[in-house]
Copies of this chain bind each other. A is one copy, B any other.
Amino acid sequence: MAGRQGGHHIACTGLSAFPLTPMRDDAVDERAFAAQVARVAASGVDSIGALGSTGVYPYLSRAERARVARVTVEHADGVPVIVGVGSLRTSHVLEHVDDAVEAGAAAVLLPAMSYHPLTDDDVIGLVETVAAHSPAPVIVYDNPGTTHITFTQELYARVARVPGVVSIKIPGVPTEPAAAREHVATIRGAVSEDVTIGVSGDPFATAGLAAGCDAWYSVIAGTVPEVAVRLARPALAGNAAEADAENARLAPLWQLFTEMGGSIRVIAAIAELLGIAEQPCLPLPIRGLDGEQRRRVAAVLETLDHAAEPDRDE
């Protein structure tokens, strides 16, 4: 089943942009989302990932998620679309797969969501069931900070052997170059050649790509894509000096991610400050940044050379 595809070919390499799903009055702000997808698609990214963690997939109903998948494909202008299909219950994941494929997804992104802790056998059972069901290729998503599953090298190797799995989205790598190379080489050694490895955790992207990752599954590319493109192009071309220089320029942004408990609230504040989303744009109970934290994000945003323009007309 490996190599089966949705509406558009996807290689699971290069720069993949994961936009926020902005909320407005406890509903998806489809107009703001569609405009942002179009903006991202025009920026030169290699794929667009709807309903990733920043896309707040686990907070949305099935109907909302199906609609977000459709809106993404409609506004992606031919750029391949990845759709997140995670859920706590396997049968619900299969429903999300059906909706994603119906929408025209080129691949589905499968996190191992957990409430009660899952065993490795549980995770393998989930991946096997989803990959056997899905006509679209499967990207397995390792995000221990949200799903609370710890992928070992052995588990990477097992999921990579499941027919239909084409990529693994790994969390941050060590930022020290030699340690990053060893980390990625270990995963590469465990995972079959036709499965790509994509780094996530934007502060680790430069180190991950330099260390041999095939893709950068990027949060900032979903909101300020031109900033991500400027980092990704030299990094993917092996131009380490230029990539390192771009990465160094973004250090204040990475620092905000660390201080504010991850990227989600920082990205939401940036989207709100740029007028890409209404304030507040996160689903409750998650409150956005305000006061001093918001002012600090605004100050860092001033230093980024982004192309986004306010899109509000009220």
Interface residues of A (CB under 8 A from B): 26, 53, 56, 58-60, 88-91, 112-113, 115-119, 121-123, 125-126, 129, 145-146, 148, 261-262, 264, 283-287
Contacts and interface: CB of A to CB of B under 8 A. Distances in A.
B115 A287 contact: no
A65 to B, nearest CB: 13
A296 to B, nearest CB: 16
A26 B87 CA distance: 14
Chain A interface mostly: loop
B26 A116 contact: no
Contact of A58 (B59, B90, B115, B285): B115
A238 to B, nearest CB: 34
Contacts of A283: 88-90
A284 B123 CA distance: 10
Given A59-B89, A91-B26, A287 B125 contact: yes
Nearest to A290: B121
Contacts of A264: 116
B26 A285 contact: no
